Amino acid sequence: SLTIGIVGLPNVGKSTLFNALTKNDVLAANYPFATIEPNVGVVGVPDPRLAVLAKIFDSQKILPATVDFVDIAGIVRGASEGEGLGNKFLANIRESDAICQVIRAFKDENVVHVDGKVSPKDDIETINTELILADLQSVEKAVPRLTKESRLQKEKVAVLAAVEEAQKILEAGTTLFAAGISAGTEKGRLLHELHLLTTKPFLYVFNVDEDELVDEDFKNEQRALVAPAEAIFLNAKIESELIELDDDEALELLQSMGQDEPGLATLGRVGFATLGLQTYLTAGPKETRAWTIKKGATAPEAAGVIHTDFQKGFIKAEVISFADLVEAGSVTESRAKGKARMEGKDYVMQDGDVVEFRFNV
Ligand code: GDP
Question: Tell me: the pLDDT tens digits for 222-249?
Answer: 999 999 899 999 999 999 999 999 889 9
322: helix, strand or coil = helix
> How much is the pLDDT for 177?
95
**Average of per-residue pLDDT across 208-222:** 96
User: Which residue from 14, 16, 240 has its CB within 8 A of the most atoms of ligand 1, so it is best to mutate?
Assistant: 16
Give the three-state DSSP class for 49. helix
Is 90 exceeded by the pLDDT of residue 120? yes
Which atom of ligand 1 is least distant from the CA of 108?
Answer: 26
**pLDDT surpassing 90 at residue 96:** yes
Q: 43: which strand partners?
A: 67
Position 188 scores a pLDDT of: 93
What residues does each domain of the chain span? 296-359
Asked, as a colleague might, if the bond just before 120 is cis with ω within 30 of 0, I would say no
> How crowded is residue 154: how many other Cβ atoms within 10 Å of its Cβ?
8
Average pLDDT score over residue span 299-308: 95
Measured CA to CA in angstroms, residue 162 lies from 60, 185, 191, 203 at distances of 52, 12, 7, 24
Which distant-in-sequence residues (6+ apart) come within 8 Å of 352 by Cβ? Answer: 49, 280, 281, 321, 322, 323
For residue 232, with 0-12 CB atoms within 10 Å meaning exposed, 13-18 middle and 19 or more buried, which class applies? buried
11 annotated as ligand-binding: yes
| 14 annotated ligand-binding residue | yes
**Is 102 annotated as belonging to a binding site?**
no
The pTM score is 0.90
Task: Give DSSP secondary structure letters for 206-264.
Answer: EE--GGGGG-HHHHHHHHHHHTTSEEEEE-HHHHHHHTTS-HHHHHHHHHHTT-SS-HH
pLDDT of 75 > 80? The answer is: no
List the residue whose alpha carbon is closest to atom 6 of ligand 1. 13
CA of 82 relative to ligand 1 center, distance in Å: 28
With respect to CATH, is domain 296-359 assigned 3.30.420.40?
Answer: no
Rounded to the nearest whole angstrom, what is the distance from the C-alpha of residue 253 to the centroid of ligand 1?
Answer: 20
Residue 180 backbone class (left: φ over 0; alpha: ψ -120 to 50; beta: rest): left
pLDDT of residue 210: 94
Helix H or strand E segment including 182: none
Give the mean pLDDT of the chain. 91
